[in-house]
Amino acid sequence: MKITDISVRVFTHSSREVKDSDGHTHPGDPHPVRQALLTITTDDASQGHCLAPTEVVRPFLIDRFVKVVLMGQDPFDREKLWQGLAHWQRGSGAMLTDRTLAIVDLALWDLAGRKLGVPVYKLIGAYRDKVPAYGSTMCGDELPGGLATPEDYHNYAKWLIERGYKAIKLHTWMKPVSWAPDPKMDVKACAAVRAAVGPDIPIMLDAYHGYSRSEALWLGQQLQKLEFAWYEEPMNEASISSYAWLAANLDIPVIGPETADGKHHTRAEWIKAGACDITRTGVHDVGGITPSLKIIHLAESFGMDCEIHGNGVGNLTLCAVQKNGRWYERGLLHPFINYDDVPEYLNARGDAMDADGFVHLSQAPGLGDDINFDYVNSHLV
């Protein structure tokens, strides 16, 4: 088999999610947005697909890097193709990011699954067919009845448990919220959620990622009193030594890195430095399933859990092939948005959750996105 075409379709659909000035997601009014669908095609007409932000698969990146590495190659040579793209990153002037590598890698995995007629998680080697989900809230806001007060978090936490979630992770208030960040308000929200769900539900905090060591330490000490399950990204993840100091001074598991560059290499350094008690990967953070498997196995070698960052069928696939991780991060969630709604460009959600809080892996060949190709092709830009 040889790769003969790599194409990108850009289409429009309606969204209720908006980004703030710091890149955090919040609810908004329905508005048209553009999304891309990357497709890799071979000489026997096999195809693999992956949905993507348009800029991540813009023509310059596809022509200058992706096609140079992939065209004419065997699509089953995923390790060789991923290493080839990763090599090009250094000379790309920071234009070829892990986000692009992830889309290409996921499309190659999707192609393999579709060609062989198996779900990708089975192709890799399944550990489980369903994964328990935690409800991962959007960051706090100033929307009346949204996530504007500790009471709002309390009320939403009760709703999340009713919906079936067996754990909850808070993202609290961050800039550009006028008075944020505020560790004391973080604690009030965390205490309100603990009061809402009782002592047996795991709760995690994904904090403002710019706290100082002293702020992060104090906040972590309060989370220990509330018996939180893990403590995520309270400081800039570029400072491994700060996380090693924090983890050494806290009992609550410190998890990371999520956003630090460097893929499996950085996670190896974090583990070596004692900067985390649980490590973390997500397909979009490190360049796809291929490098994420390296991280999962690295963590396992140290007796460490690796919790997967983010939603989507690529991350759900990782959850299904690992023993050393518990949760699927379902979100981001907000009282104003029904996350269970099916997007116009899909025939079904790839992470539908049952009443017991489990997300079941699709048994369809490929990665698991049930793409509505008629919708995509009738809404092309």
Closer CB to ligand XYH, residue 24 or residue 78?
24
The residue among 275 and 376 lying less far from ligand XYH, judged by its C-beta, is 275
Residues in 70-129 at the binding interface with ligand XYH, rule: CB under 6 A = none
Which of 24, 78, 194, 263 lies at the binding interface for ligand XYH (CB under 6 A)?
A: 24
Residue among 167 and 376 whose Cβ is closer to ligand XYH: 167
b/e per residue, 232-245, with b = 16+ CB within 10 A?
A: bbbbebeebebbbb
Return the number of the residue (107 or 283) whose C-beta is nearest Mg ion. 283
Least distance CB 357 / ligand XYH (angstroms): 18
Identify any residues that bridge with 205 across adjacent strands, giving them in sequence order.
170, 231
Axis crossing angle, helix 313-320 with helix 289-301, rounded to the nearest 10: 30
Tokens matching residue 276 = 């985390």
User: Under rule CB under 6 A, how many of the chain's residues touch ligand XYH?
Assistant: 11
* Number of Cβ within a 10 Å radius of residue 172: 26
Taking the complex as a whole, how short is the minimal distance between the CB of residue 329 and Mg ion, in angstroms? Answer: 8
- Which of the listed partners (ligand XYH, Mg ion, none) does 139 bind, with a CB threshold of 5 to 8 Å by partner kind? ligand XYH
Q: Which of 59, 64, 56 is nearest to 98 (CA)?
A: 56
Binding mask 196-215 for ligand XYH (x = CB under 6 A): ----------x---------
Write each residue from 284 to 313 as x if it is in contact with ligand XYH (CB under 6 A), else as -, in one continuous string: -------------------------xx---
Smallest gap from Cβ 267 to Mg ion, in A, equals 15
Whether 321 and 126 have beta carbons less than 8 Å apart is answered as yes
Amino acid at site 263? K
Q: How far is the CB of 2 from Mg ion (least distance, A)?
A: 39
Q: Are 370 and 344 in contact (CB under 8 A)?
A: no
Question: If we measure between CA atoms, which residue out of 358, 314, 300, 364 comes closest to residue 106?
Answer: 314
Nearer to ligand XYH, 26 or 122 (CB): 26
Residue with Cβ nearer ligand XYH (75 or 312): 312
> How many Å apart are CA 318 and CA 69, to the nearest integer?
25
Q: Which 330-349 positions form the footprint of ligand XYH (CB under 6 A)? A: 332
Q: List interacting residues with Mg ion (CB under 5 A).
A: 206, 258
Residues in 130-189 that interact with ligand XYH by CB under 6 A? 136, 139, 171
Which residue is at the shortest CB distance from Mg ion?
206
Question: How far is the CA of 6 from the CAs of 40, 61, 176, 376, in angstroms?
Answer: 5, 12, 39, 17
What are the structure tokens assigned to 18, written together?
A: 């908006």
Q: Which residue has the tokens 């703030």?
A: 20
Residue 171: contacted member of Mg ion, ligand XYH, none (CB under 5 to 8 Å, by partner type): ligand XYH
Structure token digits, residue 339:
């996350």
Give CA angle at 36 (34, 39), nearest 5°: 165
- Of 4, 12, 15, 25, the one binding ligand XYH (CB under 6 A) is 25
Maximum distance among all Cα pairs of the chain, rounded to whole angstroms: 60
Nearer to ligand XYH by Cβ, of 99 and 171: the residue is: 171
What residue ranges bind ligand XYH (CB under 6 A)? 24-25, 136, 139, 171, 206, 258, 309-310, 329, 332
